[in-house]
Structure formats: structure tokens, C-alpha cells
Structure 1
Amino acid sequence: MSGPDIPATLQRVTVVTGGSRGIGAATALRLARAGHHVGIGYAHDEEAAARTAEAVRAAGGDAVTARVDTSDAEAVDGLFDTVRSAIGPVTGLVNNAGISGPLGRFTETAPEVMRRVVDVNVTGALLCARRALREMSTAHGGQGGAIVNVSSSAATLGSPGEYVHYAASKAAVDAMTVGLAKEFTGEGVRVNCVQPGSVLTGMHAAMGDPDRAWKKARTTPAGRPGEPEEIADAVAWLLSDEASYTSGAVLRVAGGL
């Protein structure tokens, strides 16, 4: 017997932030294959977001895109309003939007980089979760749902010499996952988290080292980087009814790290 979850008659409408590329795009497509309609939030790359939306539609889902700075509460409201208007009531959130800034020693990291990383990775995740919970919590008149936050194995490894500030921001995401799960599972909303390891995305080049994923593979027990689709599979499971008794989990998907 499963616990409270999304009613079977309610269509699944999931917001994926950072959904234009990498893990976000892979997750949007994976969810479409599982019967979700998808709202794709993106920061800059409108063309990539449009390609992801096209792939979602080809997989049988409906899709809408919206530019959003997740650290801006009004922009977050605009994203959810757009998705609700175009597709329907939101039943899920994948809190995937995140930035790292350039790789480097902590003492050489500019304060403005640290602030922006915290703004997007922590404040942005909190704002998106807050709006999603207002949509889905039964205490707010919603019909339940699920949130999956995308953290990082850096949250527990610390990432010395690379981006300690980013690791700290992802540790905050893990903490918010546990707290929100305890506060809202009884109101029909499960909250979980995935901690990817080094994954083959464009994020490494943006940090300043396009080969970083393969370099990190040398110290990964699996001996290789992860693929975005492998993270997407974990996210999709946590959003599914198969995970109906799972809330407050921080799931490591990092090749043994």
C-alpha cells in the first residue's frame, strides 16, 4: 500500500530549471518518456531550450519554455505562472539550475562570484521550492507532488582547490532537502535530492577545464564520468510512484565516490 501521491487522474506537469542543456535537458526528455509534460526554465540559451522542448514533444509530452533567473522571486513566479497557464497545474519540480564560477583556489575566488553562486544555487533553489510547494501542498489547496533537488557529490567531498564555495552551496541544498521533506511530506509533497558526481556536460568547459570530467574519472571507482541520462534516470525514479515512500533522501549517483 503506497502513501499519498499525485492522484492517478491528474496529469504530471514538472518544472525543470536549467532545462536547456546537460542534466536538465536529459531529465526533461526522460520525464517526457515517463508521461510528464515539462516546463523548461532556462537562463540564457533560448535555442537550446527550444531544442529540448522539441525533443519533449517528440517523446509525447507537452512543453513550454521560459527564461528565468531563479534568484529573482518575481522571475520564478513568472516561470510557474507560464507553465501553469500553458500546460496545467504543476505537480513536480526538478531544482536543477546551478552555477559554479571558474575553478581555482578559494583565496583567489572573487567575492562577487561567491555571492552569485549562493544566489543561484541556494536562494534560487529555495525560491523555486517555495513556489512549487505553494502550488502542490495540500495545506495550500494543492493535490500533492514531488520535488527533486540536484545537488553534487561536492557537498560532502568539499572540492578543495576547485570550488569550495560551490561545494558549500550544494551542502545547503542537501540540508534544505531534509528540512522540506520533514515539513511537507505530510502535506502530500515528497522532497528528495540527487548528488551527481562528475558528469559529461558543458559545465566543465564553463569552469575553465573542458577535460575535467575525464581527469576526475581517474579517482572515481567506476573509472569514467557519468552521463546526463544516468542522473536523469535517478531523478525520474524519485518523481515516480515507485518512490512513494521515499522522502528526505539524498541519493548519490557518483560512480562510487
Structure 2
Amino acid sequence: MSKTILITGASRGIGAATARLAGARGWAVGVNYAGNAEAAAATVKAVEAAGGKAIAIKGDVAEEADVIAMFDATEAAFGKLDGVVVNAGILDVAAQLADMPVERLRKVFDVNILGAALTAREAARRLSTGRGGNGGSVVVVSSAAARLGGADERIDYALSKGAMDTMAIGMSKELGPEGIRVNSIRPGLIVTDIHASGGQPERANTLGGGTPLRRAGTAEEVGEAIVWLLDDASSYVTGALLDVTGGR
């Protein structure tokens, strides 16, 4: 069955991999991006090459008007939504909380917490059967940092991801009667360029050898789990926190 999916932060990493995998199932994908239009266009082409449909939609998830606009654009192109992946997120360089300026905290929390809440709120409004939606699935892309804590690196990031887990659990209880399943994916050491943006491009590969599987994970491996949660195959799964961490 074809589905219409919106993925925030889909121009790179886990978001882009999820979009490609959705395309391989013949789904239509709204590819949201914040600034890199070239990368977003490449994701659109990859979705189409895989057999799906896609459009690129620029928008800042921390801005309410942008969030509403990206939902509007996806539905205008492909019809009512069946799923939303709350994926857009940022991190900063490694530091202890005692050394983090308030500007850093606000930036991380605006994107990772406020942005996630605005996206999830709009998903609830669009998907709820009681509001005229089809029902469906919301997948929140959290992090293993939510339970590991991020000490000496990024407590701010870990804190924001813990908030996302809490949101997913609460929303699963609110929205189950509305035909919506809500789950959280918690990736571990995954090879994506988000590590470079945090000043540690080799972090995943360096630390991945210490996992029980003795390697870092790939964006595609996380994407497979996300697509499973979007698909009807996971129809009795909601309120789950699914670790994709190689056992870490």
C-alpha cells in the first residue's frame, strides 16, 4: 500500500536514508531541509530513482509557520499524510554543561525540543481520525544519548533527546484512540555527517568497535527500523523506545 510520509531533516544522514527506503516501497515523501538545497535535491532524486515520489521543502522546524507550511506542501503534492518522521536535530561541539553558554542551550533546545514538539503537534492534527485524518504512524528520532546522558560531551543534546522520548510516550497514549501510533527510535553510534558538525567526524567509527557488534551502524540500518515503524507490519507497536545501537 502506498503511503505519504513527511520526514524532517531529510537532506542528510538518517533522514535521507529513510527517504530512500520509503521510495523503494513506492511511497511519496516530503523531504524537509533547513538550508542545503543541493543535498535535499539529491535526496529527492534518490527517492524517485528507487521508485517513489518526492518533493523538497525548505523549512526551520523551530518556526511554527515553517512547520505548518511543510505539512501543507506535502499534502498538496501527494494527499493526506500517513506518517511523519520527527528527525531534524542538531548538536554542538563536545563540552561540559558548566561551560555551555545559554545561546548554545537555546539553539539546541529550539530545534531538538521545540522543533520536535511543533512537528509532532502538527502530525497529530493532520493524522488524527477524529480530525479527518487517515490515522498512521509518527516516528520520533531520539538517541541512545537519552539514556547514556552525554557526560563530558553533550548533556544538552542528551537532555533534548530525553524530552523527545517523553513526548513519544505521552503522545502514544493520547493518540492511540485517534488511530495514530507513536514510537521513538534511539540510534547509537551511526556513521553520518552530524558528527563532523560536532567537530568529531570519526567519532562513530572510533567508538563503534567498543559495541557488542564491534562496529558503528549505518544510516540505512536505522532507516530500516524507522520504515518498519511507519509500515503496517508494526501495527501493534506504539509507545516503544527502540534502540538501534549495536548493543551499546
TM-score normalized by structure 2? 0.98
- Of 69, 84, 103, the residue aligned with 1:112 is 103
Deviations 1:92-119 (A, max 9, x none): 1011100011111221222111111111
5 Å-filtered alignment, 1:103-252, equals 103-252=94-243
- The whole-number CA distance in structure 2 between the counterparts of 1:47 and 1:74 is 23
Aligned: 1:255 with 2:246? yes
Aligned: 1:45 with 2:36? yes
**What is the one-letter code of the residue matched to 2:236?**
Y
- The whole-number CA distance in structure 2 between the counterparts of 1:155 and 1:34 is 31
CA RMSD of aligned residues (A): 1.0
Which residue is 1:54 aligned to? 45
**What is the one-letter code of the residue matched to 1:75?**
D
- The whole-number CA distance in structure 2 between the counterparts of 1:209 and 1:104 is 12
Which residue is 1:3 aligned to? none
Aligned: 1:31 with 2:22? yes
Which residue is 1:94 aligned to? 85
Alpha-carbon shift at residue 31 of structure 1 (Å): 0.9
- The whole-number CA distance in structure 2 between the counterparts of 1:245 and 1:140 is 22
Deviations 1:182-236 (A, max 9, x none): 0001110100110000110001111011111122214322111110000000001
After TM superposition, what 4+ stretches of structure 1 lie above 6 angstroms from structure 2?
none
- The whole-number CA distance in structure 2 between the counterparts of 1:28 and 1:249 is 22
Alpha-carbon shift at residue 245 of structure 1 (Å): 0.5
Deviations 1:101-141 (A, max 9, x none): 11112212221111111111111111111111111101111
- Of 46, 49, 70, the residue aligned with 1:79 is 70
TM-score normalized by structure 1? 0.94
- The whole-number CA distance in structure 2 between the counterparts of 1:19 and 1:245 is 26
Which residue is 1:5 aligned to? none
- The whole-number CA distance in structure 2 between the counterparts of 1:170 and 1:107 is 19
**What number of residue pairs does the alignment pair up?**
248
- The whole-number CA distance in structure 2 between the counterparts of 1:221 and 1:156 is 17
Q: SS of the counterpart of 1:115?
A: helix
Which residue is 2:60 aligned to? 69
- The whole-number CA distance in structure 1 between the counterparts of 2:26 and 2:228 is 13
Among the aligned pairs, what percent are the same residue?
45
Contact 2:169 2:240 in 1 (8 A): yes
- The whole-number CA distance in structure 1 between the counterparts of 2:117 and 2:15 is 18
- The whole-number CA distance in structure 2 between the counterparts of 1:165 and 1:30 is 31
Contact 1:64 1:87 in 2 (8 A): no
Q: SS of the counterpart of 1:149?
A: strand
Alpha-carbon shift at residue 13 of structure 1 (Å): 0.5
- The whole-number CA distance in structure 1 between the counterparts of 2:153 and 2:113 is 19
Segments of structure 2 that go 5 or more residues without pairing to the other structure are none
Segments of structure 1 that go 5 or more residues without pairing to the other structure are 1-7
Contact 2:11 2:33 in 1 (8 A): yes
Q: SS of the counterpart of 1:132?
A: helix
**What is the one-letter code of the residue matched to 2:86?**
N
